[in-house]
Amino acid sequence: MDNFHQPVLLKETITLLNCHPGGIYVDGTTGEGGHALHILKTCPNIRLLIGIDRDEDNIEQTNQRLSPFKDKYFLVKGNFSEIKKIISHLKIEAVDGVILDLGVSSHQLLSPSRGFSFLVDGPLDMRTDRQQKTTAGNVVNEFSKEELKKIFWNYGEEKWSAAIAQRIVKRRRETPITTTLELANLVTNAIPARARPRKIHPATRIFQALRIAVNDELTHLEKCLPEAIDVLTPGGRMAVISFHSLEDRIVKTTFREHSRACICPPRIPQCRCGHIPKLKLLTKKPILPTTEEISQNPRSRSARLRGAEKI
């Protein structure tokens, strides 16, 4: 096995996408190129694969990895929430498939300097796009106690959000919190020993919540999905892998809303909305990884794949 990020639900995603010769596909979260490479290998006659990622390092690394397919792909450092603008810059009007595999890649997670991990020491950074100004350090040291509590509760569902926010505010009055291990220890100590989770590191939820907040992940997803649906050609497909219940809810709701024939409020007896469905759902329930995949790649355990087809 190589050092690259192991793509999650790979076979299932490629099957959903149903690539065909001559088609144009967008991988909105190219990462380390796992899904992209598989698309190019299994369907070498596609016209183009457009790969988007916020992270320059991942774009550079993937460029080398995909180089044997040099005329078949084009990589863009950008945000998937700008998918319409990105493809129109390439003078493309519609695409045949879009894939999103949300979150962060292994290289990002394991690089101490990126500051995503509570297991290795590094600066409190967590930006997927390093041109962005706000880092996790800014959030932890500058946001109010109430704001921190809200982030920890909303994005991490952390029961001890208030105690952790309180501990952070108290510490930063003495000295700023600058490293990942400093924050991880502080979080652990803010949770009473008897209440600390046993199966995961006590700081897991807080790091996840901070990452979502720093990168404004849910806002970008909410903006991207309707744009992606718009740019799909009839019969074109979308496949989205999420790792967090809030992400999955956004995907589920957006797909549902765009697949319903009527969006009138339930109290209205006769439809007046004239809504035209744009999507057909391909997955009524999300596709989950098999126990075999989870045992080979524990990171896949919370993955959920949903798919839809443009009508």
Ligand X SMILES: C[S@@+](CC[C@H](N)C(=O)[O-])C[C@H]1O[C@@H](n2cnc3c(N)ncnc32)[C@H](O)[C@@H]1O
Which residues contact ligand X by CB under 6 A? Answer: 5, 7, 28-29, 31-35, 52-55, 58, 79-81, 101, 103-105, 128, 220
Length of the chain: 311
Q: Which is nearer to ligand X, 54 or 310 (CB)?
A: 54
Contacts of residue 190, Cβ cutoff 8 Å, sequence gap at least 6: 160, 163, 164, 166, 167, 168
Q: How far is the CB of 32 from ligand X (least distance, A)?
A: 4
Query: In which order are the strands placed within the sheet that holds 304-310?
Result: 73-77, 48-53, 24-27, 95-101, 232-242, 304-310, 279-281
Q: Which two tokens stand for residue 141?
A: 């040291």
Q: Is 258 exposed, middle or buried (0-12, 13-18, 19+ CB in 10 A)?
A: buried
Q: Which amino acid is at 219?
A: T
Q: Which two tokens stand for residue 130?
A: 């390093």
Q: Which two tokens stand for residue 310?
A: 């443009």
Q: Which is nearer to ligand X, 144 or 290 (CB)?
A: 290
Q: Which is nearer to ligand X, 214 or 232 (CB)?
A: 214
Q: Which is nearer to ligand X, 202 or 289 (CB)?
A: 289
Q: How far is the CB of 236 from ligand X (least distance, A)?
A: 19
Q: Which is nearer to ligand X, 58 or 161 (CB)?
A: 58
Q: How far is the CB of 229 from ligand X (least distance, A)?
A: 16
Q: Which two tokens stand for residue 245?
A: 């219940």
What torsion, rounded to 10 degrees, do the Cα atoms 27, 28, 34, 35 define?
Answer: -40
Query: Which residue do the tokens 């810059």 mark?
Result: 89
Q: How far is the CB of 173 from ligand X (least distance, A)?
A: 33
Q: Which is nearer to ligand X, 280 or 299 (CB)?
A: 299
Q: How far is the CB of 164 from ligand X (least distance, A)?
A: 25
Q: How far is the CB of 55 from ligand X (least distance, A)?
A: 4
